[in-house]
Each structure stands twice: as C-alpha cells, then as structure tokens.
Structure 1
Amino acid sequence: MPRPSNTEARREQIVAGLLKAMAERGYEGASVAEIAKAAGLSPGLVHYHFEDKQEILLTLVRSLASRARQRFTARVAKIPADDARGRVEAFVDAFLAMGPDADVAAVAGWVTISAEAIRQPEVRVAYEEAVRADLEQLEALVAAVVGRRRARPLAAGLFAAVQGYFVLSASAPGLVPPGSAAGTVKRMAAGLLEAAGPGARDDA
C-alpha cells in the first residue's frame, strides 16, 4: 500500500484535530485556532489545506463513515457467507461493540455532526449520504434473513437503536451500562428477525 502524501497526512491530522476540538468545545467552540492547536499545527497550515471549518467538518463526516465501514468489513470477513444472522450481528458490533477498535471520540463526533446536519444544509447532505449508505447495507443484510419486503422497517428500527445509543453514550454516558449497547441491540435484532416468522424469508 502506498504511503499517504504529506498533503493527505496533514489533512488527516487537521480532521483529527477538529474531532478532538469538538469533543472539548463543541463545533461552535472549535475555532480554526483550536483545531490547529489540537492538531499540533499552525492556523496557517489549516487554512492552506482547507478553505474553512465547514470543509473540515464535511471531510470528517466521510472519514468517520469510512472508519465504521472498515470495522464492519473486518468483522464480517470472519462470518460465513451463509450465516445471515451473524452478518447482521457483525454490523451491530461494528458500530457499537467496545473492542480494541472502539472509538468513543468518533461516536461523540457523530452526534455533533448529526446536530450540525439540522443547522447546515451542506452538512445535512453529507450526513444523509453516509447514513443512507449504512442503512442500505443493513437493509441488505436483514433482507438475507427475512426477505426484501420485510427488511426495510426492521433495518430502520435497528439502525435507529444504534443511533439512539450514540446519542445516549455521548450526551448522558452514565445512563448506559458500559459495554451493554452491542449486546442489547443484537438481542433486539434476534427478537425482530425471529418475530418475522419461521424461515422468515418472504421472497425466496
């Protein structure tokens, strides 16, 4: 794999700086100066690589979405292709499991991004694009268990539970027992898929 260019590395450093600054000060308080400080760079370098703070945020949206998909890819590679339910569980684990690749700062950042998506149309577009791709992937996984006609509402419900845990863990962490999120949503998934009926698939 080729090494990232200096420009790519600097941009990644700045995006990580925004994530860190948001965790401490929120998006409004994460000025370019604060982002630069968190990244260990000068404000001039931040301005050289990004037009403004919003461009950094839009890049962060894509970065966080990519990281979650990489976690899913790593987990699902260990699941047999014919284990459809196991692949649904791998999706939940990728987003919620507290393993060595868990990223608490990323979860908090995603909650901040969802709030900015309400305020900023450009952020909303990027956020919706990322969420749509993840939801479509989950829907395809669920469809492999219950069939296409039943998959959409079940996938939407499970995805809403994942997003709800993000909000709780970021805004009121004391309300969520540590390490409980993935197991709880996987049990929800098992119950919903089972309730869809024996053999479940409606379009096989």
Structure 2
Amino acid sequence: MRANAAEQIVTDGDRKGRKASKETRRQQLIEATIDSLAKRGYSETTMADVADGAGLSRGIVNFHFESKENLLVATLQYMADEYANHWGAALEKAGPRASDQLWALVAADFDRRICTKRKLAAWCAFWGEAKSRPTYQALCGARDVKYQEIFVSLCAALKDEGGYVYEPESTALGLCAMMEGLWLRLMMGDGLARETAHEAAISYLSSVFPAHMTLQGPKQGT
C-alpha cells in the first residue's frame, strides 16, 4: 500500500508539473506576442516571431494555440483581464466615497504595471483591428460598457454632492476620452512621460470637480 501511495504521489506531482509547465509556456508566448505587437504591429506579427521572441520552438506555439488568430485572441483576453482586475482592485481599495473612487480609477490608468509603452502599443494594435473583428469587440465590449457606466455613476454622485451643472454622461465620456488620448500620446513616444500624463489627468479632474478635487488629491470631508 505504501508503494502504491508513493506511486500516486509521483503521478500527481508529474501532472502538476506538466500543468505548471503548460501555463508557463502559454504565458511566455502571450508576453512574446505583446512584444511583437509593440515592435511590428498587428499584420506583421507572425507565430514564428512569437516563438523566436519567447525562445521556444515554433511547434510549441502551434501546440498551445494552433493558429495566429487563437494566439492573438488569447493575448487580448489576457490583457483585458489584467486591465479589468487592475482597475477593479483600485476601485475596491478606494473606499465608499465617489471622489476617492474616481481619483483611484484615473491613477490606475497611469500605474507603471499597466501603463507601459509595449502594452499601450499592443492595445493600439488591437484597437486598429477591432472594427473588422467582432471577436475582439465581444471580448472587450461588455467590460468597456461596465467601465463607462462606473464613470457615469461617479460623475452623477459628484454632481449631486457638489451642485455641478454638467451632464454626467457627457462628462464621463469626456473624461474617458481624455485618458484614452493621453494613452495614445504616450504610445506615440513624442516625449510625454507617464508622470506628466497623469498630472494632466489630475489637472482635468480638479477643474471639472473643484469642490471635490485638488492637484494633491480628493478633498477630505466632501
């Protein structure tokens, strides 16, 4: 019985090792895909480029993803999950006040874990293809709607508290568009630094919500 138990432990360990190896390989390939999208763009990225970038054989790419489209969908899914989890955690950590939550969401967009040139370039590569690829729209569409709804809700709450005269929907749209524009400027590499882009977003917040925001952060007691 001891021998059988030992054999079972070895078998379970082998299975866990193979599973970990599979997940590790997939992640390596996804990271290499992000690198290639940032360097070459969407159309010029090939499975061979990804394999070479990951330091793996081309057969490994085919084994895990079978096609370039599957690889790109998996990469977009990973990036969308990472982004949603990131801003979701920031929102939860901010606490119940609308001003703190909005400040945290804006700050999350310029966090160095998310806001890097390679990731922004990869996002832009996918954005350029989204119009003609319903799969890409489906992957991110529902999350984009939820994200926008949160901004509308926060703008509405701040309007009620501060007596502002803006329309929450249009203000939220303008805020999100401003942040996307700063991401685009950062991706273009025209000398704009991530910290400077974040400061510009903060300046926008303080001008739109003067009763709640300063350049240093949300006002206390509002």
Q: Give the TM-score normalised by the residue count of structure 1.
A: 0.79
The number of residues matched between the two structures is: 190
Q: Would you say 1:103 and 2:120 are equivalent positions?
A: no
Q: Distance in 1 between matches of 2:29 and 2:146?
A: 25
- Cα displacement (A) at 1:38: 1.3
1:183 corresponds in structure 2 to 199
2:132 corresponds in structure 1 to 119
SS of the aligned residue for 2:208 comes to helix
Q: Distance in 2 between matches of 1:16 and 1:133?
A: 26
Q: Distance in 1 between matches of 2:77 and 2:25?
A: 16
Change (3 A) 1:122 1:101: closer
1:163 corresponds in structure 2 to 180
Q: Would you say 1:30 and 2:51 are equivalent positions?
A: no
Change (3 A) 1:53 1:138: farther
1:17 corresponds in structure 2 to 32
Q: Would you say 1:90 and 2:104 are equivalent positions?
A: yes
CA RMSD after TM alignment: 2.7
Query: Bigger shift: 28-37 or 54-63?
Result: 54-63
Q: Which amino acid aligns with 1:29?
A: E
Q: Distance in 2 between matches of 1:194 and 1:146?
A: 11
Q: Which amino acid aligns with 2:196?
A: S
- Cα displacement (A) at 1:47: 1.2
Unaligned runs of 5+ in 2: 1-15, 161-165, 212-222
SS of the aligned residue for 2:195 comes to coil
Change (3 A) 1:127 1:43: same
Change (3 A) 1:131 1:100: closer
- Cα displacement (A) at 1:169: 1.3
- Cα displacement (A) at 1:175: 4.9
1:145 corresponds in structure 2 to 158
Change (3 A) 1:54 1:129: farther
Q: Give the TM-score normalised by the residue count of structure 2.
A: 0.73
**Sequence identity percentage:** 23
2:219 corresponds in structure 1 to none
1:193 to 193, 199, 209: 209
Query: Bigger shift: 42-51 or 60-69?
Result: 60-69
Change (3 A) 1:94 1:50: same
